[in-house]
A and B are shown apart, each in its own frame.
Chain A
Amino acid sequence: MTETVTVKNLVKHYGSFEAIKDISFSINEGEIFGLIGPNGAGKTTTLRVLATLLSLSSGTVTIMNNDLVKNAGDIRKFISYLPEDAGAYKNLTGRAYLLFIANFFEPHHCKEMVTRGITIADLGARIDDRVDTYSKGMMRRLLVGRTLMTNPRLAILDEPTSGLDVLNAQEIRKLIKTTAQTGTTVLLSSHNMLEVEYLCDRIALIADGKIVETGRPQDLMKKYNVRNIEEVFIKVVHQ
């Protein structure tokens, strides 16, 4: 199986604070990989490093055989990142925002991308309203549409369902699942253990900047003799 992401001995410092402490993991093509951990464990920092936003202090990261440090510009062509509390340009309509983003990718496929984005966002006629009139749920749907419309080889999703109601969250989970089935590799972070259990092929439990456990959700539940990932998490963290 081809590895889309390979992280080896990644370390990230914020000044004297070591946010990521020598972590290694890999994600296979078409896989949904979840990073799970408490607040401040280093999930978002890891995702930001992989999304080419933050520098790495040491270690290597390879995405689609491209070194993150040397080829960040190339990597940006086939990744798509959804930050946890992202926003959109408030004076644009939903459609104009999607077009603005699509224009950075292949110019000949802009229309297709926007159409795909509109379908994913599923905002109906509201897609032509200004973004500043959107509710939180609508905004998140637009941003998920934006993230997935480019058919990225790697989608990096930080808490994709954060702040959404049950119905909206469920819709987005389905979208992520469908996207992975089309060949997109997904790396996501979440607090929601049920979501992770439902979505992820493999997970990594991260605590205090270190990966403490990796594996398939079912295998981990079996290993720790528990009924769900939440209990796995509690056991691992307490160990």
Chain B
Amino acid sequence: MSGLGNILKKELKELMTVQTFLPIILVALIFGSLGNSISGIQEQAKTPPTIGIITEDNGTLATMATNVFHTYGHVVYNGTTAADRDTALATISEKNGAALLIIPQNFTTNIQHNKPGTIQVYWIMKGAGLFDSIPSSAVEYIIATANTNISRHLISSNSSINATVVLQPTTRIDSTTFKGREFTGLSPTIITGMLTSQALLIPIVMMMIIIMAGSIVITSMALEKENKTLETLLTLPVKRTSIVTGKIAAAAIIGLLLATIYMIGMGYYLNGLTSSGGVNLATYGLALQPTDFILIGLSLFITLVAGLSLCMLLGTFAKNFKSAQTLTFPITMLALIPMFLTMFADFDTLPLGLKALTFAIPFSHPMMAPRILLFHDYTLYIAGLIYVAAFAILTISIVVWIFKTDRLLTGSTSKWAKLLTKRRRRPF
């Protein structure tokens, strides 16, 4: 065999380990199932938006607009008086619709007298993710099409209406119902945009901390093995629990220091956001209070402990510094998945499978916390906190158990089954 062939064979043999392939295979499986669920959401988004229409005006331009709504939307309510608004909204909501469009009296007359015709839009917003905003964007597109058609009509009929009104013959008055609250003057697109940008930094901060502190823990275990200090450590009069929690706590402190640095920057960023875009979010009760920040911090801390316990568990598989680097990959992916999920869709509007996956990944909870707390959904917050705490306790217990077995030193997994059958006696 040639020198190159010999080296290649040796390198491949060294690299083709379970540790190298298992994380990638797991991530591929997760992405596969994620892709299937997301394509389902996208298919759903292609269908015409479900809307309701109330037309109080019988004029030509109002009829023209109504025709557009019928052509491009799936109309589930068709009324003639704004007094039926609540009934209409109830019907649309029942049919999982996106909005009620009301064309009031004098719509046509107003435009003909150089005043834009008003379209009142009552939005029913279900979630604040990017996917959730697809139906409202579709409705906005329908309204824009009606606007364009009216403009074309006015231009082709050589009317004496002034150019500004011809170019923009309609104006919109928005009112959005979201999570039981009504936001007058705001459309779902604006709310989603603001909430997304406001809640975006928490997932990024969470991801950064988990990746940084996580790699500290995994590397620490790997270095104990590589530097041959683990055997000595395990023969010292110190409880296995103390070794595990000591390592986790040290990484958590470093992680929190990093979080503090990020949070300072984020604080300034959020201050800027709450009054950005000419809309003061605080006016609508959409600004986080100091208590909310404490609760986010608590969620962040418990998740950090849970995440680091998971890293510690992975660290027990690390043979050396090189394999530790590979093991940080699944943690990174676990942090990325909820980040994208919470960015694209609201937890409430996720399909059941994705909802379960999002809830099961501990890192999701602090990422969801700002939005949850903004809308006072304390049940979901507390459930998440309890789940993450239980996850942390369980993972730490598994790690401590591994520390009490031979696995840490021998690297063998075949004995685990025997250990479970309690046929062997082990000191601890």
A1, B231: Cα distance in complex, Å: 31
A72, B424: Cα distance in complex, Å: 15
- Cβ-closest chain B residue relative to A143: B232
**Residues of B contacting A68 in the complex (Cβ-Cβ under 8 angstroms):** 427
A107, B186: Cα distance in complex, Å: 65
A87 near B227: Cβ-Cβ < 8 Å:
yes
- Cβ-closest chain A residue relative to B226: A87
B333 to chain A, nearest CB (A): 30
A14, B406: Cα distance in complex, Å: 9
**Residues of A contacting B228 in the complex (Cβ-Cβ under 8 angstroms):** 83, 85-87
Most chain A CB within a 10 A radius of its CB, from B228, B412, B425, B426: B425
**Residues of B contacting A55 in the complex (Cβ-Cβ under 8 angstroms):** 405-406, 424-427
Stretch from A46-54, A117-125, A180-188, A227-235 that touches the partner: A46-54
A104, B406: Cα distance in complex, Å: 22
Q: Which one, B231, B238, B426, contacts A81 given CB within 8 A?
A: B231
A54 near B406: Cβ-Cβ < 8 Å:
yes
**Residues of A contacting B227 in the complex (Cβ-Cβ under 8 angstroms):** 87-90
A104 near B238: Cβ-Cβ < 8 Å:
yes
**Residues of B contacting A104 in the complex (Cβ-Cβ under 8 angstroms):** 236-238
A52 near B427: Cβ-Cβ < 8 Å:
yes
**Residues of B contacting A88 in the complex (Cβ-Cβ under 8 angstroms):** 227, 229
**Residues of A contacting B410 in the complex (Cβ-Cβ under 8 angstroms):** 14, 54
User: Is A76 on the interface with B (CB-CB < 8 A)?
Assistant: yes
A46 to chain B, nearest CB (A): 14
* A69-B425 contact, Cβ under 8 Å, with A48-B409, A54-B409: yes
**Residues of B contacting A146 in the complex (Cβ-Cβ under 8 angstroms):** 232
User: Is B268 on the interface with A (CB-CB < 8 A)?
Assistant: no
A89, B229: Cα distance in complex, Å: 7
**Residues of B contacting A87 in the complex (Cβ-Cβ under 8 angstroms):** 227-229
User: Is B249 on the interface with A (CB-CB < 8 A)?
Assistant: no
User: Is B95 on the interface with A (CB-CB < 8 A)?
Assistant: no
B427 near A72: Cβ-Cβ < 8 Å:
yes
B424 near A105: Cβ-Cβ < 8 Å:
no
User: Is B415 on the interface with A (CB-CB < 8 A)?
Assistant: yes
Within 8 A of B (CB), among A45-104: 48, 51-58, 68-69, 72-73, 75-77, 79-81, 83, 85-90, 101, 104
Number of interface residues of A (CB under 8 A): 32
* A73-B239 contact, Cβ under 8 Å, with A55-B426, A57-B424, A89-B229: yes
**Residues of A contacting B231 in the complex (Cβ-Cβ under 8 angstroms):** 48, 51, 53, 81, 83, 86
* A69-B427 contact, Cβ under 8 Å, with A54-B409, A87-B227: yes
A22 to chain B, nearest CB (A): 15
A68, B427: Cα distance in complex, Å: 6
**Residues of B contacting A72 in the complex (Cβ-Cβ under 8 angstroms):** 427-428
Within 8 A of A (CB), among B221-254: 227-229, 231-232, 234-239
A76 near B237: Cβ-Cβ < 8 Å:
yes
* A69-B238 contact, Cβ under 8 Å, with A53-B409, A86-B228, A86-B232: no
Q: Which one, A58, A76, A86, contacts B236 given CB within 8 A?
A: A76
**Residues of B contacting A101 in the complex (Cβ-Cβ under 8 angstroms):** 232, 236
* A15-B412 contact, Cβ under 8 Å, with A87-B228, A90-B227: yes
A14, B412: Cα distance in complex, Å: 8
Within 8 A of A (CB), among B393-422: 405-406, 409-410, 412, 414-415
Q: Which one, B229, B235, B412, B415, contacts A76 given CB within 8 A?
A: B235
B77 to chain A, nearest CB (A): 70
Q: Which one, A73, A77, A86, contacts B229 given CB within 8 A?
A: A86
Most chain A CB within a 10 A radius of its CB, from B227, B238, B412, B415: B227
A48, B426: Cα distance in complex, Å: 12
A81 near B414: Cβ-Cβ < 8 Å:
no
Most chain A CB within a 10 A radius of its CB, from B227, B235, B415, B427: B427
A220, B428: Cα distance in complex, Å: 37
A105 to chain B, nearest CB (A): 7
- Cβ-closest chain A residue relative to B413: A15
A105 near B237: Cβ-Cβ < 8 Å:
yes
A101 to chain B, nearest CB (A): 7
A168, B239: Cα distance in complex, Å: 34
**Residues of A contacting B234 in the complex (Cβ-Cβ under 8 angstroms):** 52-53
A104, B424: Cα distance in complex, Å: 29
B406 to chain A, nearest CB (A): 5
**Residues of A contacting B426 in the complex (Cβ-Cβ under 8 angstroms):** 55-56, 69
**Residues of A contacting B239 in the complex (Cβ-Cβ under 8 angstroms):** 73
A208, B290: Cα distance in complex, Å: 68
Within 8 A of B (CB), among A11-64: 14-15, 48, 51-58
B405 near A79: Cβ-Cβ < 8 Å:
no
**Residues of B contacting A52 in the complex (Cβ-Cβ under 8 angstroms):** 234-235, 427
* A81-B409 contact, Cβ under 8 Å, with A55-B427, A56-B425, A87-B227: no
Within 8 A of A (CB), among B309-337: none
B72 to chain A, nearest CB (A): 66
- Cβ-closest chain A residue relative to B228: A87
B240 to chain A, nearest CB (A): 9
B402 to chain A, nearest CB (A): 13
A79, B235: Cα distance in complex, Å: 8
Contact with A along B123-141 (1 / 0, CB 8 A): 0000000000000000000
Within 8 A of A (CB), among B274-329: none
A83 near B406: Cβ-Cβ < 8 Å:
no
15 new A-B contacts, CB < 8 A, other than A73-B428, A76-B236, A87-B229, are A15-B414, A15-B415, A48-B409, A51-B235, A52-B234, A55-B405, A56-B426, A69-B426, A77-B237, A81-B232, A83-B231, A86-B229, A87-B228, A101-B232, A104-B236
14 pairs, CB–CB < 8 Å, chain A vs chain B:
A15-B412, A15-B414, A48-B231, A51-B231, A51-B235, A52-B427, A53-B234, A53-B235, A54-B406, A72-B428, A81-B232, A87-B227, A88-B229, A89-B229
Interface of B toward A, CB cutoff 8 Å:
227-229, 231-232, 234-239, 405-406, 409-410, 412, 414-415, 424-428
The 8 closest A-B pairs by CB, nearest first: A55-B426, A72-B427, A87-B228, A81-B235, A76-B237, A87-B227, A77-B237, A83-B231
